[in-house]
Amino acid sequence: MPIIVDDPLFPRKPSKTALQVCTVPPPTQLQDHRAGLTIGLVNNMPDSALESTENQFLTLIEEAAENLLVQVQLYSINGVPRSERGRQHICRYYSDARKLFSRRLDGLIVTGTEPRAPDLADEPYWSSLTELIDWAQRNTVSTIFSCLAAHAAALHLDGIRRKSLPEKRFGVFKHRKYSDHWLLKGAPGRTATPHSRWNELQGATLTSSGYNILTGSSKAGVDLFIKPGKSLFVFFQGHPEYEAGTLWREYRRDVGRFLRGEQPRYPSLPNDYFSQTTVRALQEFRSRAEAQRQEQLLSEFPVAQMPSGIAATWREQAIRTYRNWFTYMAAQRERTENRRFTAAWPASATP
C-alpha cells in the first residue's frame, strides 16, 4: 500500500528510498474511514541530516503500513537554525507546525536534533516545541518522540532532566523486553536498536513519574517507554528508523570534526556494528589521524570497508513496532467513528 505525502508539489524525487508517492488517495479508499491514517512528521534535524532523516522515517512508515493507507504530512517548527539550502527545502516541502493547532491528527512523530545549549529549555526552538507537545496531548491518538525530542517532552511534561553521559552512547545495543505491551506484539525477548546520544533519561526517574518502560538494557539504559494519557505518548531514546549505513555516516562525520579541530577527542567506534576486518582498518586509520590530525586525511578514510558487511539487524523489529502503532491508531479511530455513528442513530430506528 503506498503512503501519501500530503504536499501539492509532490511527486518529487524520493532520494534513496523507493517510496510510491501520490498527491491524493483514490476516492474509494477515502470512503472507508478504516483505510487511512493521517500522520504528521515534525522533522527538527539540522540541515546535514534533514533529508536523510525525512527519508528514513518515510521509508519505515511505508514498510510498516502493510495494508493501511497512511497519509504523511511534513512539518517544521520555528527556532531550528537553517542554512539557505535547508530553508529552501523546508519552504518547498514542509508546512509550519503552527498550522496543526487548528486541526487533529491520528498520529504524530517528532524527531530530535543536535543540541546546542547545555539546558534544553535554552534551545531557540524550546517554546515552539513545548507548544507542539501540549497540542499533541489534546489532538492526537498517539505521538512518538525520538531521542532529543523524548528528552524535551519528559522535561516539559514532568520536569525530568536528562543526565550527561561520560562518552557518547553510540552503536547497536541489545535490549530486553520488559513488558507484553501491544507495541511489542510479536517481538522476541531481546531486540536490537541503534543509539547515538550524549545524554539519557534514567529508568528509576521515569518510573517514579508514571512512565512505563517497555525495553532497555544495563549497557544502553532505557530505550522504549510510554506515558498513557488522552494521547498515548511513545518515547524512543534510540533510533529504530536508522538505515544500515546511518551509524557509519555519523562516525565518519565525527572523525571529520576531530580532524578539523571541532571536537577534542577522536570518536569511539560504534558498538556491535562493524565487522572485525572493518574495525582493524578503522583502528589503523585512527592511529594515523591522532598522530597527524589534518583534515586532508579524511580523503583517505577507509570507505571501501562500507557498506558491505553491515546489516540493519534492528529493521524487522522497527517495522513490527510501527505496524503495531498503526494498528492501535486505526482501532482507536474505528471505535470513535462507531461511537459517533451510534450517537447519531435515531432511537426510533433501533430494532
State the CB neighbour count (10 A cutoff) for residue 1.
Answer: 15
Q: What DSSP assignment string belongs to 26-63?
A: -HHHHT-GGGEEEEEEE----HHHHHHHHHHHHHHHHH
Whether the CB-CB separation of 161 and 209 falls below 8 Å is answered with: no
Stretch (H or E) spanning 170: strand 163-177
β-pair partners for 38: 71
Report the candidate in 110, 112, 136 with the shortest Cα–Cα distance to residue 123.
112
Active site positions, annotated: 147, 239, 241
Whether the CB-CB separation of 7 and 93 falls below 8 Å is answered with: yes
Contacts of residue 62, Cβ cutoff 8 Å, sequence gap at least 6: 2, 3, 17, 19, 20, 70
Whether the CB-CB separation of 305 and 282 falls below 8 Å is answered with: yes
Looking at residue 351, what DSSP letter applies?
A: -
